A and B are shown apart, each in its own frame.
Chain A
């Protein structure tokens, strides 16, 4: 497994945890209050900082284990894999934004719009990692 693929696995796992943690807290707070709670800046900052710190620590460990591969630049195959995965990620983001806007037109709920767009963004990032792993292992 290449360093980039290990990095993708790490980021996919961390991002999944961050998404699950953030949206479960939103769901819990909303269940308690009975309405969809407004997005909170401290919660977002905590999730972003937590994700950043964990990804830095994780990459330090990865570099320590794979110090030879860590500095290598992507080769022609990895560049193509990145481009294809980014394309899929872009499509996921576009669809999620359009669906979020359509949902907003029907509900007029700004909080829901924020969560849908933010969730779509996170899912598109997750899709990029997953597709990179997939394309790295399949015929490409």
Chain B
């Protein structure tokens, strides 16, 4: 299994719950590329605090409803 970073997230679930928003659309809203959104969802990249807040604000939820600590590795 590929190594994952310890910050888990619900970005993909929130995207799908918000009208099947694409990674590109979310990326445009928060100011990152589609590849970075994909990396966040796959836990290959932990976003900056600012981007984490932007993602949470986009879905109108709090930051801890999007991100959580999960030290698996």
Contact = CB atoms under 8 A, between A and B. Distances in A.
Interface of A: 1-2, 5, 69, 72, 75-78, 136, 138-140
B32 A75 contact: yes
Interface of B: 2-5, 27, 31-36, 39, 43-45, 47-48, 51
Contacts of B35: 1-2, 5, 77, 136
Mostly, the B contact residues are loop
B36 A140 contact: no
A77 B45 CA distance: 8
Given A139-B45, A140-B39, A75 B33 contact: yes
B22 to A, nearest CB: 13
A130 to B, nearest CB: 18
A139 B33 contact: no
Contacts of B32: 75-77
A34 to B, nearest CB: 52
A138 B47 contact: no
Contacts of B51: 76
A2 B23 CA distance: 13
A75 B31 contact: yes
Contact of B44 (A1, A2, A78, A140): A140
Contacts of B31: 75
A139 B44 contact: yes
Contacts of A2: 33-35
A78 B33 contact: yes
A136 B34 CA distance: 12
Nearest to B48: A76
A99 to B, nearest CB: 33
A51 B9 CA distance: 43
Contacts of A76: 32, 36, 47-48, 51
Contacts of B47: 76-77
Nearest to B35: A2
Nearest to A81: B45
